[in-house]
Structure 1
Amino acid sequence: MDAPGQSNTHLTWTNVAIGGTFIVFDAVVSLVFGLGVGSSLVTAAIRCVLQLSVMALLLGSIFSTGSPWAVAGIAFLNKSKRRYTYMFPSVLVAMACSTIPVSLLGSRFAMSIEPFWKPDQYIPIIGMLCGSTISGIVVAVSSVLRELHENRDKVETYLAFGASRLEACRPIAQEALRLALLPTVNQMSVIGLISIPGMMTGALLGGSPVEQAAKLQMVIMFMISACTALAAITASVLTLVVVVDNEHRIRGDRMSGDKHVIWKTRDAFLGRIGDFFQGVWHKLIDAFKRRKVEDDRAAEGERRPLLG
């Protein structure tokens, strides 16, 4: 019997290719029913393969070094496509105030990992926490900005009647926090009954006992809920502090739907690559058409003596 945590399967790229047939099936279904998502599915699958391959190379190097600084470096990787004024430091503070204390305390005490920064265990934990935290921050910030845009008159009425920005924006922050925690609450409500979560499935496939895998999933879910709550609270408060200044005014000039310069550069780069391949494709089509016309003319020239 394999030792706990030791995987008894060995997958090759052939297995990945076989799994990719499911994506092909989805693309065919999209094409047959005219859903228009076939190309998006294929593109997402290709990105998934490339990103996970690069991540596997990085994690392999980090696991072999066992350095806590390398673990900290990959744990702080984060990106955000939406922005407002001072959004980067706000999101950074929200991420740091939630993932760092929860991951440290949870790894050391709740999961009894010593040292807590063991790469093969701490990186998957911080990855799951960051994933849920990012989702919570996106939901909270989007809710705050949407409410300030749609119900701006209501908030400004409260401010005009002497309410502080905390009193006027408290319902907005409460709604943002509720929406941010709703996915986690729903997930904990159905976990184990309707679906087997990914962390528990991975532990079972790795050879861990069922009881240990279930307890591990419980701890992870509790850590995710605490991390999401802290991140949503911090992000909502910082967003309101920036958008509603200390003069109790809603600063619409600080809210923007423009993308970050990184994403603008990426879109421009991908657009140029797409234009290049599109131009190459059009040239190939034109060359094929010209070749066909020339072949037709040559065939017509060969038939004329026979017809005469």
Structure 2
Amino acid sequence: MTHERVLAIFPGALGDFICFLPALERLAERSVIDVLARTEFSDLAPLNVQVGSLERFEIRSLFVSGGSQHEKVRGFFESYAATYSWLGSRQAIFEQELSSATHQKVRLFPFRPVRMRMHQAEYYLSCLDELPTISPPCVRPKPKAVEWTRAYWEQNSIGCKPMLAIAPGSGAREKNWPVNSFEAVARWWRDWVGGVVMILLGPVEEERGGYSTLCRSSLVMRGVDLGLLAALLARCSLYIGNDSGTSHLAAAVGTPTVAVFGPSDLVQWAPRGESVSILTQNVQCSPCTDSTMKSCAHRKCLTHLEPTEVIQKLAVLPAVSKLTKGGAGIRVFSEISPESYGRTAG
């Protein structure tokens, strides 16, 4: 049986792409799928999905009036039976040119849900007229990456020691739990659990700096590609991070994941996986808009989340108390309050 070729145009970052995976897998069940996105996502996509660069002539041309008439553009889109795009919604020229290039065989969607509060993964599925799935996004590390990780464990004499992965950054500084709080968790893991700590730093964290103390006495991975990062995370006993793409990836590879949420909307952005816990103060002003988040003077949704309280929650997780990978579902701990550790909010 020959399946028709379908093109998906997806402009999102890492967390967005992880949320997009269930919809992508649904498309791949009935078609041969090519995705134009960030090329670094190729190691995370299902085996039967090809990922190409979004930065190509055929896409750039659609933002110019008449661009769809170029022979190269028409030839590219005519090779597909259908096109789904989450790029260019409400941009009149792009919509018109994409419709012309595909001979109206296109479905164009807003990148974010409009006037609806729903999880991003469910939104992408709804664009395909699919019912929300109970299956979380799933990333399977490639064999070469798994072998590289095995060798890394051996080179660093990690053996069977439990590994805690910490990703202290995110795409927005305002979403980050204070770095000294992560430092307290790292000390606890080494002293109480007797484990090893791995700090994950991307280009943004490298540029911002301020992580030297956290990195002390820890293994540090800097700017590792996503395929290797997926394999590293899959081998860890526990992961903790902010609302970030790395947190979504940790959950998707099946590692017990703890995500610290402050101003973000956990209804829309909570990572989904086999074992995910969300730690949040659940203050009255959270979640908030991006503009409010960037101008917030107190940031109490994060600064009032004390490391001692977080450590108490981590200590009773099955992944820590038994040091085995287990559990299911998302557990939301919202009962943490300033009163519980003797502070007054304000």
Quickly name the TM-score band, shorter chain normalised.
under 0.3
- More helix by percentage: 1
TM-score, normalised to structure 2's length? 0.25
Query: What TM-score does the superposition give when structure 1 sets the normalisation length?
Result: 0.27
Higher RCO structure (Cα 8 Å, ≥6 apart): 1
Structure holding more strand per residue: 2
Larger Rg: 1
